[in-house]
C-alpha cells in the first residue's frame, strides 16, 4: 500500500482546532496535526458525522505513512498541545496493491 499526500501549506485557515472539533466534519476533509504550534507529518481525514476520522500518520521507523482511526474518546484524550489545521485543498491518494 502506498499513501501520497499533496498539501498546499499556503491554503486553509490558520486557526488551530482542538482534536475533538475534527470529529463529525464533512467527509473527505483533511486536517494537519500541529504540536506546540509546529506542523507535523500526521493528518486526519474526516469521514462524516457518525464515523471516526482516519489517521494518516508518519512512521519514522519504516519511513512511510500508516493508517488507523481515532474514536471521539481518543480525540478527547489527546494532549493539550496537539491541534489540527483544516486544509481544504489538500488531496490524499491511497493506492492498495494486491
Asked if pLDDT for residue 1 goes beyond 80, the answer is no
- Confidence band for 61, pLDDT divided at 50, 70 and 90: very high
User: For the residues 32-53, what does the mean pLDDT come to?
Assistant: 90
Looking at residue 94, its pLDDT comes to: 78
**pTM for the full predicted model:** 0.83
- 59 pLDDT tier (thresholds 50, 70, 90): very high
User: How many helices (H) does the chain have, and how many strands (E)?
Assistant: 1, 8
Distance in Å from the first CA to the final CA of the chain: 8
Average pLDDT value for residue range 73-79? 88
Strand partners, 92: 5
Amino acid at each position: 500500500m502506498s499513501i501520497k499526500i499533496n498539501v498546499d501549506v499556503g491554503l486553509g485557515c490558520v486557526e488551530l482546532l482542538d482534536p475533538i472539533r475534527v470529529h463529525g466534519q464533512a467527509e473527505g476533509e483533511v486536517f494537519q496535526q500541529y504540536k506546540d504550534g509546529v506542523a507535523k507529518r500526521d493528518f486526519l481525514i474526516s469521514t462524516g458525522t457518525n464515523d471516526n476520522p482516519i489517521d494518516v500518520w508518519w512512521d519514522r521507523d519504516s519511513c512511510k505513512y500508516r493508517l488507523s482511526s481515532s474514536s471521539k474518546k481518543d480525540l478527547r484524550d489527546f494532549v493539550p498541545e496537539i491541534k489540527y489545521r483544516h486544509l481544504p485543498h489538500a488531496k490524499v491518494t491511497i493506492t492498495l496493491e494486491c
